[in-house]
Chain A
């Protein structure tokens, strides 16, 4: 929670003859994030050279190229395997030895070569097609026969080819790992990172794989200069929001990871902007309907985010009493957003001032939270005098924001905000509360200037960033307005007058009205999806992250792979 997965730094050294089995075990564990060795590493590594690939790397790479060529010739893709069973690796190797050359021969001679010759022929004869119609038919037939043959081979060997591609890829990757190790004539040395909870298991697995003939130890680390690789450590409900984090930047190891808050606040903002039960239901259907087309892990994460956002829109739609711009049979529980279009909401117009103040409150609290995170981040990552100044500057920003707020409260009575106009008066036309606000404002400016004088010119961004949260209401209201106008034009102006005295022409006009209704709402749904999503994520990226979040951590990419077609 709020912290990247703890990492342990490992250092290992062993004999070169052990390297192959060590690599195999590392690869099987899929835990070790290797810190690549470069020869300009410094005096600690004097005499070491970059490792050479393991024997057989070239052969494996060549075979991989062959298998990939076959996969592409036969049109087999990883995404649509015809069988998903896993093959044992030794069998795959045996298959590679015995079957691959034959299939390769088959495919090259009978399919690739013939196919390309025939394709050229077809083009040529297409031009002369009147004369050569008969020949063309023959070619088509033969092409079809060859496709059949290809289909036959595909059916028989697709799963084997996929399995060998995976196996060979693993082989090639493993054999090239020594390039990231430091080696001497006899020995090798590797450094890297393993998640702390898995370190014990990883070490003992390596000891076992080498029969205890490897030296491996945990190295004490200093988080700030070492910057371990970063793997998210979030509860499962927050995982889809990691997508939005990676679009911005992966957090540093030492930084607060705000993914959990992002995963909660983003759907809330989206719901507040869209706030329509009908659109919420449509988005929900979209989130489930698109699952068939977006199968990758990132697509799935996006759809899960969309699902959360649409559930939130549904809830806010019920609270705002909105359904495709119509009102639901109850009065809005939250402030009304019903506009007075076509005399619809004559009873209760929109509560614009209250909604605006609500959005300002959300902004003030969100930014305050961001500044608190900023204080924690600076306290964790900086050192010495700079650390104190940076922490105090963040306190200063908070003082300025709340000082301005208190000054406003002392002068004007606003809905939903504390009314401090009644405080006993003090100097310069300010009352006591206003004086407090002014003092906080000045103190804040001094604290900011102590860290960096140039930051003073950024002070107006406090107001613009807080006011920027007004988009939560403004974008939402504009989408309500579009929905209500579409309803009024389609039903109030086109359909209803025709229904009163029905005629043949009237039915055509009614169909036109239905079309207007559908097109208008489709447009508004697209706008709502784009506006709701972009504006909520932008509030996070621009208004919130700039207060505390830098990012730029290295992604944790352990050696090894998730196997889909093979097993040991």
Chain B
């Protein structure tokens, strides 16, 4: 109890406020993890996607392979999602 009072006087915050701030920062971190990795994936898929569309336009049989190559960078955003889930739960 004495320690809690000490924290209160030092930071001017109640334990509830501290817990809420921590939760909020975690949520920001999770959002950054998904958002930034999403951007990374998007940049990577940009080049692959345009090349894949070109290949499919020349040869329709390439469609399956092209779709597959395009989703390969999805791994990055999946890692971001994993990090976000681990942060939140």
Contacts and interface: CB of A to CB of B under 8 A. Distances in A.
Interface of A: 247-248, 349-350, 352-353, 356, 464, 467-468, 470-471, 474-475, 477-478, 534-535, 537-538, 541-542
B86 interface: yes
Contact of A541 (B68, B75, B81, B82): B68
A350 B75 contact: no
Nearest to B80: A474
Nearest to A244: B64
Given A356-B82, A534-B67, A468 B75 contact: yes
13 contacts: A247-B64, A247-B68, A352-B85, A352-B89, A356-B82, A356-B85, A467-B79, A470-B82, A474-B81, A475-B78, A478-B81, A538-B68, A541-B68
Given A468-B78, A471-B74, A477 B67 contact: no
B46 interface: no
A349 B65 contact: no
Contacts of B57: none
Top 6 closest A-B pairs, CB basis? A247-B64, A352-B89, A474-B81, A471-B78, A470-B82, A534-B71
Given A352-B89, A468-B75, A535-B74, A474 B82 contact: yes
A485 to B, nearest CB: 15
Contact of A471 (B64, B65, B75): B75
B72 interface: yes
A350 to B, nearest CB: 6
Interface residues of B, number: 15
A538 B72 contact: yes
Nearest to B71: A534
A474 B75 contact: no
Contact of B71 (A247, A356, A538): A538
B27 to A, nearest CB: 13
B84 to A, nearest CB: 9
A470 B67 CA distance: 21
Contacts of A474: 78, 81-82, 85
Interface of B: 64-65, 67-68, 71-72, 74-75, 78-79, 81-82, 85-86, 89
Contacts of A468: 75, 78
A352 B82 CA distance: 9
Given A535-B74, A538-B68, 14 more contacts: A247-B65, A352-B89, A356-B82, A467-B82, A468-B75, A468-B78, A470-B78, A470-B82, A477-B85, A478-B81, A534-B68, A534-B71, A537-B68, A542-B72
A362 to B, nearest CB: 14
A356 B74 CA distance: 18
A533 B79 CA distance: 19
A474 B82 CA distance: 6
Contacts of A542: 72
Nearest to A467: B79
A470 B85 CA distance: 11
A535 B71 contact: yes
B48 to A, nearest CB: 13
Nearest to A478: B81
Contact of A349 (B68, B81, B89): B89
A471 B86 CA distance: 13
A350 B65 CA distance: 35
Contacts of A537: 68
A535 to B, nearest CB: 7
A349 B88 CA distance: 11
Contacts of B85: 352, 356, 474, 477
A532 to B, nearest CB: 12
A471 B64 CA distance: 20
Contacts of B86: 352-353, 356
A440 B79 CA distance: 27
Contacts of A471: 74-75, 78
A464 B75 CA distance: 9
**Most chain B CB neighbours (cut-off 10 Å) among A247, A477, A537:** A247
A353 B86 CA distance: 7
Contacts of B79: 467, 470
